[in-house]
Amino acid sequence: MCKRSVFLHISILLAVLLVFTKVCAKTTSTGFYYPTGTDSPKLMNSYSFGAGPDNQPDRWACGVPIKAKTGAAVYAVASGEVVKVSPSGWGDGNVALIMKHIGSNGRGFVAVYGCVRNYVTGRVNLGQRIGVVGPNPGGSYLHLGIFESPDGSGALPFVRSQEDYKTRANPLPRSLTVDTVLSYNGWLSPIDFLQNRNPKIYGNTNRKPEVEVPSRPKPAEPESGVLLSSIPAGRGVTFRVDAGSGAIPNAYRFKVWQNGGREWVSEWISGSGSASWDTVLLEPGTYWWEAQARNEIGESLWLESRRRFYVNYPPGIPPLVAPTPGEALNSRKVMLIWSDPGDADDMPHYYRDYRVIVSGDWSYDSYWGYRATSMQITVPTDGNYNWKVAASDGLDQSGFSPERQFLVDTVPPVIAMSGPPTSRWSNIGEIAWNATDATSGVEHVTLQWEPGGQVNVPPAGSAPIPQGQRRVTIKAADRAGNISTEKSGPYWVDVTPPHVSMTIAPAQPNGIHGGYATSATLIVTADDGNGSGIAETRYILDGYERTYSGSVTITGAGLHTFSAKALDNAGNTFITPERNLIIEHPQGGESAPTPVPPPDFHTPKPETGHGESEPARVGF
């Protein structure tokens, strides 16, 4: 038992040492992480640091091309931050990450990681995966450049174009050796830099061994060149792939497109050995599809050869023409009209079969086989109805058109009217109406006076009757076009009170004390102009109201109050303001007796007396 325990501990120790050795193999002896994860980076033959590419003799290289497979992971040589992304000049779809790092001496430097894709941004740690190597026509590689500004601030190099991050125009500047590393105008030999300088270390940088990026997945379905002649409405094509050789993926992504048309890309779908994806509903035409795989290290390339397939799509949804949405009709014979929705390939038939469904207060289904684009139906009752149409090309069916409503109403509106009595004078002067329609609703109402013009009015309301003798006509129409007419009158309307005036004779007081000596005469005049005419004239003397039939003589000594009142045949009344006068009783004379009012007049005011008193002159 003891021997087994010792053996187990030794085995674990050896395994840890092996892992540690593999981890350390990815870092330089000075602590930098190799950008492609290998401790023996190999350079492409196309150019080396300081020596320009063969096809650009007038340039010198300020970085080096490190051989790497397409899709291989790229790692940060030290902790730092992505400060810029150079988007062009690095191969189709590739970029360069411009990253600021700090050395152990506190001096900042810039690293250029070119020809990468699927990259990260922001802050990164030493040895963190920051992207993958992208494809290049002349062979895939990682471009690595190191720049250190003279002041050690980590400022970006001055560039006139994206190409200046990779090469510079000749002549090659004079070389310097800075801390054992070759330098041209601040650009340092990258491999020498990594192997002779030290990065600033932040915490524990030990990493677990990395696995490889998965290889391309294997396409399973749909097969290349297949014709999908029927896709049920509302369902798409199912795409499926299997894992390729090499590292096992943990997710897959699919892409479907048409040349010059739309493109669909799925989210990453979890799966190891295989995965499938159901697309959106596809239109008719020719399509291509491909897929790629990924794991925690990176993403594979897309399928090596794109797969092509064909789709026969059902005809379009028939556009409904008439009745229009919510239209109200005043006939139970209804013509339904729609348009041919078309079919991109007219397969398998050039014509369409239709199915028409009506629902609501009555139901109808034509079933398939109807080929015209109009249909007359007769509904049995007034009410609300819905209709829809679907099309078929003989193989596939479209969905139904959005349901559309229409209304059948054959009953005209009802108009209720009220107003003053007809053919007799009135001072009410207003009519009221209320138009209702139980099915389609009132659309508009008009009112016309005779004589007079026509005006639009609300379904319910009131209006003053013009002065004089008038007739009125009200018409109401519902949404279906049914019309009701109501006439009323004649109305005799007079809303203007008559005019009443009073005069006193003599015109000026003739008494000694400023009043009238012995008597005064009250004269009342009433006039109704073009109105209904005067029905009665009255006068009120000292609180007593009497019918006026002629001039009235006032003889009692003392203060008298008087006014006049007129009524026309429409019931309008006008009362004048009260006025006063004084009768001066001649010496030795007697006051006129107090008159007794007739029974139909109001109760008299309390007597105030007619004895002599100091008169108060009142203007009138």
Q: Which two tokens stand for residue 570?
A: 């429409």
CA-nearest of 442, 444, 415, 443 to 431 is 415
Other beta carbons less than 10 A from residue 68's beta carbon: 25
**Quick check: 509 and 516 in contact, CB under 8 A?**
yes
**Quick check: 458 and 433 in contact, CB under 8 A?**
no
CA-nearest of 232, 234, 270, 239 to 256 is 239
- Report angle CA 584, 585, 586 to the nearest 5 degrees: 110
For residue 171, give every residue at least 6 positions away whose Cβ sits within 8 Å of its Cβ, in sequence order, or none: none
**Quick check: 445 and 432 in contact, CB under 8 A?**
no
The span from the CA of 436 to the CA of 458, in Å, is 11
For residue 197, count CB atoms less than 10 angstroms from its CB and return exposed for 0-12, middle for 13-18, buried for 19 or more: buried
Length in residues, the chain: 620
Give the helix ranges, DSSP H, for 73-141: none
State phi, psi for 7 to the nearest 5 degrees.
Answer: -60, -40
Predicted local distance difference test score (pLDDT) of residue 212: 66
State phi, psi for 9 to the nearest 5 degrees.
Answer: -65, -40
Predicted local distance difference test score (pLDDT) of residue 7: 47
State phi, psi for 4 to the nearest 5 degrees.
Answer: -60, -40
Predicted local distance difference test score (pLDDT) of residue 52: 73
For residue 336, give every residue at least 6 positions away whose Cβ sits within 8 Å of its Cβ, in sequence order, or none: 322, 323, 356, 358, 374, 375, 376, 377, 387, 389
- Report angle CA 387, 389, 394 to the nearest 5 degrees: 160
Considering just the CA atoms, what is the radius of gyration of the chain in Å? 54
The span from the CA of 320 to the CA of 114, in Å, is 58
Burial 587-604 (b: 16+ CB within 10 A, else e): eeeeebeeeeeeeeeeee
**Quick check: 584 and 512 in contact, CB under 8 A?**
yes
Question: Among all chains, which residue has been given the structure tokens 């010496």?
Answer: 587
State phi, psi for 437 to the nearest 5 degrees.
Answer: -145, 115
The span from the CA of 544 to the CA of 557, in Å, is 17
The span from the CA of 290 to the CA of 309, in Å, is 12
For residue 582, count CB atoms less than 10 angstroms from its CB and return exposed for 0-12, middle for 13-18, buried for 19 or more: buried
Predicted local distance difference test score (pLDDT) of residue 138: 81
DSSP characters over 409-477: --S--EEEEE-SPSSSEES--EEEEEEE-SSS-EEEEEEEEESS-EEEE-SEEEEEPPSEEEEEEEEEE
Distances (CA, A) of 311 to 8, 71, 227, 232: 62, 33, 6, 12
CA-nearest of 220, 301, 306 to 257 is 306
Predicted local distance difference test score (pLDDT) of residue 554: 93
**Quick check: 478 and 412 in contact, CB under 8 A?**
yes
pLDDT beneath 70, residues of the chain: 1-25, 54, 202-212, 227, 229-236, 280, 297, 347-348, 586-620
Task: Please say whether the dihedral angle defined by the alpha carbons of residues 365, 366, 368 and 371, taken in this order, is positive or negative.
Answer: negative
Could you give the dihedral angle defined by the CA atoms of residues 34, 35, 39 and 44, in that order, rounded to the nearest 10 degrees? Answer: -140
